[in-house]
Amino acid sequence: MFDYLFKPGKIGKLELRNRIVMSETHLDYADNGFVAGRLIDFYVERAKGGAGLMIVGGCRVHPLGIVASSMILL
């Protein structure tokens, strides 16, 4: 019934191993804006689970755009 989900897919030139997408989730796991152990562990476990594409939670692109110190700073 869901065989199509497990077939490879493409978004433009990006090739995905399947069509399972994990939507954005803001976790408050960044350490002073930096990606660190707890956040890495979270995404590693989801990748092991088989998601073909994972969308990262909210990020700030400038230090003044801070909402919380646990938000990723690009």
What pLDDT digit, counting tens, does each position of 25-70 carry? Answer: 888 899 888 998 999 999 999 999 989 999 988 888 988 888 888 8
Say if 1 falls within a structural domain.
Answer: no
pTM of the model: 0.76
> CA 19, CA 58: separation in Å to the nearest integer?
22
- The region of weakest confidence among 9-13, 20-24, 27-31 is 27-31
Say if 48 falls within a structural domain.
Answer: yes
Domain span at residue 24 reads 17-73
Say if 49 falls within a structural domain.
Answer: yes
Overall number of domains in the chain: 1
> CA 18, CA 59: separation in Å to the nearest integer?
26
> CA 12, CA 51: separation in Å to the nearest integer?
18
Residue 1, pLDDT > 80, answer no
Say if 36 falls within a structural domain.
Answer: yes
Say if 52 falls within a structural domain.
Answer: yes
